[in-house]
Structure 1
Amino acid sequence: MVPFPAQSHLNQQLQLACIFSSSYDLPVHFIGSATHNHQARVRANGLKPSDIAKIHFHDIPTPDFASPAPDPNAFTKFPSQLLPSYNACTLLRDPISLLLRDISSKSRRVVVVHDVLMSYNVQDVTSLHNAESYIFNCVSVFFMYSSFICVPNGMPIPLDEDLLKKLPILEPDAPEEINKLVEFQLQFRDIRVGDLYNSNKLLEGTSLDLMEKFASTQNKKQWAIGPIFLAAKVDHVSDKRNKCLDWLDNQPPRSVLYVSFGSSTTFSDKEVMELAMGLERSKQKFVWVLRDGDRGNIFSEEARRFELPDGFEERVEGVGLVVREWAPQLEILAHSSTGGFMSHCGWNSCIECITAGVPMAAWAMHSEQPLNAFFVTEILKTGLLVREWKKHEELVTASAIEDVVRKLMASEEGDEIRRRAEELGAAVRESIEKGGASQLELDSFIAHITR
């Protein structure tokens, strides 16, 4: 396993590693810098320590890299502060190659499952007689097909006319250095035998069929094995229970809005104030995870002190809870008191939310997130937009936040969206059960690599 050093990528690859190791009894090697391997382990929300213990972690020596704090007043929300750590990972090719050669000499077959953004680093797999590689894609198939097949090849995106009018137009929001890094890595992706997707046919059947048709012209295979956190049996409850779960225990069913913007989003002081006022004025219950986006080295962080409206936490006591540390998202979404999720729409959060059967207040921040928000709100119809992407440079006001929170949590429209979300979540959970579509795909992949 060769993950890209960003939280949502590390998280999904570690879950997949646990599936291979614990469910199929395969020896698994997890390769990365000491910092990022440690990050993957300490944030392994819900994975059993006994499953993680079966994995062989290899801490590859990495040159020291800068780990600046995120800029809360940056023009775009892209986490540019992570660029030094991204660049550092491009220096891992040689040590990865040496490790692969060593494992190859002792194994019948070596299977490398890597992030698409680590393709350069694993290219020497082609020089080993008993090795092959597969890309594990941490993003939606809809995004992959639209952005990497349709747009570059001048093909129409397969949506009806009404939906095409609503489709957000993605403009580059990352620094040019990031774009160059992505282009550099993508040059080496064709060495793969096939692709794994953290999705399934129930959610993205159309996109998967189209992607499979295209992949067959490239002689590539594909498997849709998600939601992988379910296959990884992510249900372990930590001995140290988070205080927000105790708080949720005392709330009515489906009454609480969970507010969290992932590991890469940083708000300005003004945005924090507007969000606080919007949540308070909505009169709806909430758990709000208030923290900065990650640095490249999360262990070098000094927590930022956020300014909230005077007396805010005292006024919302019993109604809302502000959490300032890493929160157990899967446990929060699965809690019976959780009735909505205000999210940045990273694919990890989307698929966890969909699987839990929780409706979403979709507030995309950067990268492919606007397409994920579109997918949830317009195709699945299990959420509402907080703001349209074409207005992403404008401040989202307290009144706009208040309106969308009330609509999602306390209206007939919100109830209907919640009903659809719950039905879809139940169906997705069934897909990973024995005989379900995703479980069959997972079994098929294992049969293929152990042939």
Structure 2
Amino acid sequence: MQITKPHVALLASPGMGHLIPVLELAKRLVTHHNLQVTVLVLATDTSSDHLSQLLNSQNHDFLNIVLLPTTDISGLVEPDASIVTKLLVMMHQSLPALRSTISAMKFRPMALIVDLFGTEAMKVADEFGMLKYVFIASNAWFLAVTIYAPAVDKNELAVHVNQQQLLKIPGCKPVEFQDTLEAFLDPNDPMYDGFLHAGMEISAADGIIVNTWEELEFTTLEGLRDNTKLGCIAKAPVYPIGPLVRQAAPQALESKVLDWLDMQPTESVIYVSFGSGGRLPAKQMIELAWGLEQSQQRFIWVVRPPLENDISGSFLTLGKVLLPRFN
């Protein structure tokens, strides 16, 4: 009788910023837990150079990667709808393809892991008797806000948005208005309902995997586990598995950056980057630059050109380095 490894499927939402963390988690499940892993990828444009390069760079003997058919949502959402709304509709429309793909597998997965935008797919896992997990590639505080959002009274939310008051989260740091999620700003936007839906679905998972670690967010993780605080909402166990970092090939850096790094004490430099979508207006860029400068910490900041004028040349200071990012 052939003995097989436990099989787990991961569903990645469209976008490189969603796919890359899912691939990194998949690799860890294979190397650290000896699982057989299938990564199901919903791509909006399978001909994208970045996507093709990323998928072709994977070891397909190591990971089984399956591309789900692209979905046409042009007749389902307004052209000016938010990217979050579009992603949620795309993921909804992909459910039949996901269902048929899993059904056709000779060795079906015992568990399905979805990301934030794929929570609706957990009902497909239920149909096949699979365990269902949610992977939050962000931090535990974002998870706390997400699962608590459906329980927030609309009047409390209105005070938070209209009067810019703190939004209190049990057992966690409150949300200041300037840090609030875009989904909170307009309760009439489809994104608002979609976000609340995701929060409720996350709470129904068999487990929640978060890209953080105990020492970094001890208080928030405790709040998520405390049944008198957020634990009564997040009934699923929370597993901090971070830091989950992409092992990318080394890229060429200017020699002055490498020379500067070589002169710094071990583990003394902070790396700052906001990912593939992290582009800020010039005003916010300036404020962030001042904050980093006044922290008196050594740092390397990888930054995309700001949404207004390009100010990247203003922030190369002795002991702190900013690297422009254009890809």
Normalising by the smaller structure, the TM-score range is 0.5 to 0.7
Shift of 1:211: 2.3
In the alignment, what sits opposite 2:35? 26
In the alignment, what sits opposite 1:88? 90
Is the alpha carbon distance of 1:41 and 1:193 closer, same or farther for their aligned partners in structure 2, counting shifts above 3 Å? Answer: farther
Q: Secondary structure at the match of 1:266?
A: coil
Between 277-286 and 213-222, report the one with greater CA deviation. 277-286
Is the alpha carbon distance of 1:196 and 1:308 closer, same or farther for their aligned partners in structure 2, counting shifts above 3 Å? Answer: closer
Moved runs in structure 1, 4+ residues, more than 6 A? Answer: 153-156, 273-286, 315-319
State how far apart, in whole Å, the 2-side matches of 1:25 and 1:237 are: 22
Shift of 1:96: 0.6
State how far apart, in whole Å, the 2-side matches of 1:16 and 1:26 are: 12
Q: Is the 8 A contact 1:116 1:136 kept in 2?
A: yes
In the alignment, what sits opposite 2:264? 253
Q: Is the 8 A contact 1:20 1:28 kept in 2?
A: yes
The C-alpha deviation readout for 1:311-348, integer Å capped at 9, x for no partner, is: x48x979985543334xxxxxxxxxxxxxxxxxxxxxx
Q: Secondary structure at the match of 1:192?
A: coil
In the alignment, what sits opposite 1:134? 133
In the alignment, what sits opposite 2:324? 323
In the alignment, what sits opposite 2:12? 3
Is the alpha carbon distance of 1:32 and 1:253 closer, same or farther for their aligned partners in structure 2, counting shifts above 3 Å? Answer: same
Shift of 1:253: 0.7
Matched, 1:56 2:64: yes
In the alignment, what sits opposite 1:100? 102
In structure 1, list runs of 5 or more residues that go unmatched.
Answer: 67-78, 294-303, 327-451
The C-alpha deviation readout for 1:356-409, integer Å capped at 9, x for no partner, is: xxxxxxxxxxxxxxxxxxxxxxxxxxxxxxxxxxxxxxxxxxxxxxxxxxxxxx
Shift of 1:93: 0.7
Q: Which amino acid aligns with 1:173?
A: E
Q: Is the 8 A contact 1:65 1:85 kept in 2?
A: no
State how far apart, in whole Å, the 2-side matches of 1:156 and 1:316 are: 38
In the alignment, what sits opposite 1:365? none
Shift of 1:100: 1.7
Q: Which amino acid aligns with 2:65?
A: F
Between 170-179 and 279-288, report the one with greater CA deviation. 279-288
Residue of structure 1 aligned with 2:237, choices 222, 236, 242 = 222
Count of aligned pairs between the two proteins: 285
Is the alpha carbon distance of 1:59 and 1:185 closer, same or farther for their aligned partners in structure 2, counting shifts above 3 Å? Answer: same
State how far apart, in whole Å, the 1-side matches of 2:224 and 2:276 are: 29
The C-alpha deviation readout for 1:41-77, integer Å capped at 9, x for no partner, is: 7569xxxx565651111111113568xxxxxxxxxxx
Q: Which amino acid aligns with 1:180?
A: D
Judging by fraction of residues, say which structure has more helix: 1
Q: Which amino acid aligns with 1:209?
A: E
Shift of 1:157: 2.6
Q: Is the 8 A contact 2:115 2:135 kept in 1?
A: yes
Is the alpha carbon distance of 1:33 and 1:158 closer, same or farther for their aligned partners in structure 2, counting shifts above 3 Å? Answer: closer
Matched, 1:243 2:253: yes
* Matching of residues 133-282 of structure 1 within 5 Å: 133-145=132-144, 148-149=147-148, 152=151, 157-158=170-171, 168-169=176-177, 171-174=180-183, 176-189=189-202, 191-214=204-227, 220-229=235-244, 236=247, 238=249, 241-244=251-254, 246-251=255-260, 252-253=263-264, 260-268=273-281
Q: Is the 8 A contact 2:150 2:199 kept in 1?
A: no
Q: Secondary structure at the match of 1:157?
A: coil
Q: Which amino acid aligns with 1:61?
A: P
Q: Which amino acid aligns with 2:119?
A: S
State how far apart, in whole Å, the 2-side matches of 1:227 and 1:97 are: 30
Is the alpha carbon distance of 1:316 and 1:115 closer, same or farther for their aligned partners in structure 2, counting shifts above 3 Å? Answer: closer
In structure 2, list runs of 5 or more residues that go unmatched.
Answer: 1-9, 75-80, 154-167
TM-score (norm 1): 0.49
Higher relative contact order structure (alpha carbons within 8 Å, sequence separation ≥ 6): 1
Q: Secondary structure at the match of 2:151?
A: helix
Q: Secondary structure at the match of 1:17?
A: helix
State how far apart, in whole Å, the 1-side matches of 2:319 and 2:141 are: 40
In the alignment, what sits opposite 1:380? none
RMSD: 4.7
State how far apart, in whole Å, the 2-side matches of 1:205 and 1:283 are: 25
Q: Which amino acid aligns with 2:40?
A: I
The C-alpha deviation readout for 1:236-270, integer Å capped at 9, x for no partner, is: 562x63224x4432113168775543332333456
Is the alpha carbon distance of 1:265 and 1:86 closer, same or farther for their aligned partners in structure 2, counting shifts above 3 Å? Answer: farther
TM-score (norm 2): 0.65
State how far apart, in whole Å, the 1-side matches of 2:292 and 2:191 are: 34
